[in-house]
Amino acid sequence: MIRVILSSIILLLLICSISFTQNSFIPLMLDYAFFQGKNSDYYLEVYVSIFQENLQYAPYEGKYRAEYAITTQILKQDSTFRKDGQRTESIIDSLPQIKVNRQFLSLFIFKLPPDDYEAKVMIVDENSGKVGEYLVELEYQVISQDSLAISDIELASNITKEVENSEFNKNTLCVMPNPSNTYSITMPVLYYYTEIYNLKFSSDLPGEYAVKASITNTAGEVVRELPSKTYKKPGKSAVLVDGFNIVTLKGDVYYLNLEITDEQSKQNVKKSKRFTFYKPERRKIAEVTDQSGTGSTPQELLSTYTNYTDEDLDEEFEYARFISTSQEKDVFKTLDVEAKKTFLTNFWKHHDEAHPELYSSFKEDYFERVNLSNNLFGTGKIEGWSTDRGRVMLIHGKPDTYERHTMEIDKKPYEIWHYNDIEGGVIFIFGDLQGFGEFELLHSTYSRELHNPNWQRLVRRAESTGFDFDNDFMR
């Protein structure tokens, strides 16, 4: 039995010396699990998911089609040891069928002998040319074939009986992986799959094994103790699946902990798996309704465009590109001047309704962030709103807290932005790699952003003036 521990997940920069912006890659969510194989080999399962909205759909025989290819390589000493790939297409009748949170899943399985490996996963969108790439470094420990052992824990979005022709079938079950390891109030059941090995078993006296499960926070404190369960042994190995409704948890990062005990041998084994529960805070009705100036009526919004030219309307919508969908962009291109005015009126009103917590209109708040980004992040080459820092501010607002690192002798300037209400708490890290005050996104823990836990490798010795967060940013 091989137990493999993920030591780091690195999203490779395609061209390290060139600024890499959000629009040039496809965010990937990736997870993996290792299972015991025969003759000291093990099976590696790699789970990959992408969001439908990040693919480009093109007209195809009266419909729309997206095509993408995913390749997974197992590397041994920088050489390809195993390789597998999938080419997939998605055909829809109309662009409104693109769903914001819909994910496409892929599974790759490899049988591997014990050794040191890396796994590299790459996706290419055939229509847009955009790519996404991960490099996963693996370490493993050999576990005795004679001792009680457990596989990695695979977190799932759902587990059912076998589904005909599904690639996610195994051991009479259909296990739909959740590569992001993120759950929410719309997906509140924490499903898991794992395998138990080397149980002490006799056909005359099968015996039982016990399972204790708990959920702890990042401080190691138990936030939920789940009921212990006892199962009859089906043989020397067993499949363990279960699901817990975690909707009452606070939004945060947690660990699912399993402890397996063989009641006959008294051997015991433990395994943990990290997950995130995202739960937007509910606001009191008074906080939402007892406001003044929460937005303009559609008529008032429309009247603001009376003297706008076609170029003016295009410019305004360009500023909103980070918060508009692919479908909205495609539709806007087809409109004449009057239709664009109506479109923008409905566009901003929709965002007003989605953000009742704002005391001003969403459009006013958004363009305040545009102006602030231009003042703080702009350089001679690029406007501040279109930089990586500007994009994050336009999408998510000002960070709850921040860290500035500009005076470290052995590192280039970098900043860490903290957002407490996104997926239980996330960070964005930006660095001035070129030394010209142009901060690039180096790493984020947000599931839809660039992941590079080894981002510190990119930071070099440098110095930069930056801007005054305390006086300019947090006002």
Give pLDDT, residue 145: 74
User: Do 418 and 404 meet the contact criterion of CB atoms below 8 Å apart?
Assistant: no
CA distance 332 to 131: 26
Neighbours of 469 (CB within 10 A): 16
Tokens standing for 71?
């390749």
**Facing residues of 119 across strands?**
74, 136
Task: Indicate whether this model's pTM tops 0.75.
Answer: no
Residue 42, pLDDT > 90, answer no
**DSSP summary character for residue 384:** G
Residue 27, pLDDT > 70, answer yes
Task: Select the more confidently predicted residue: 6 or 434.
Answer: 434
Measured CA distances, 293 to 148, 357, 361, 364, 398 (Å): 64, 11, 7, 11, 21
Average pLDDT over residues 346-357: 84
- Angle formed by the axes of helices 388-396 and 362-377, to 10°? 160
Give pLDDT, residue 304: 79
pLDDT tier for residue 262 given thresholds of 50, 70 and 90: very high
What domains sit in the chain, N to C, each tagged with a CATH number? 1-143 (2.60.40.10), 147-279 (2.60.40.3880)
Mean per-residue pLDDT of the chain = 83
Q: What is the pLDDT of residues 212-223, one digit of tens each?
A: 999 999 899 999
Residue 7, pLDDT > 80, answer no
Q: If we measure between CA atoms, which residue out of 421, 424, 431, 423 comes closest to residue 456?
A: 431
Average pLDDT over residues 276-288: 54
Q: Provide, rounded to the nearest whole percent, the portion of the chain with pLDDT above 90.
A: 46
Name the residue type at position 335: L
Could you tell me which residues come within 8 angstroms of residue 150 by beta carbon, excluding any fewer than 6 positions away?
Answer: 194, 195, 196, 197, 258, 260, 269, 270, 271
Give pLDDT, residue 203: 86
Q: What is the pLDDT of residues 56-96, one digit of tens each?
A: 999 999 999 999 999 999 998 889 999 999 999 999 999 88
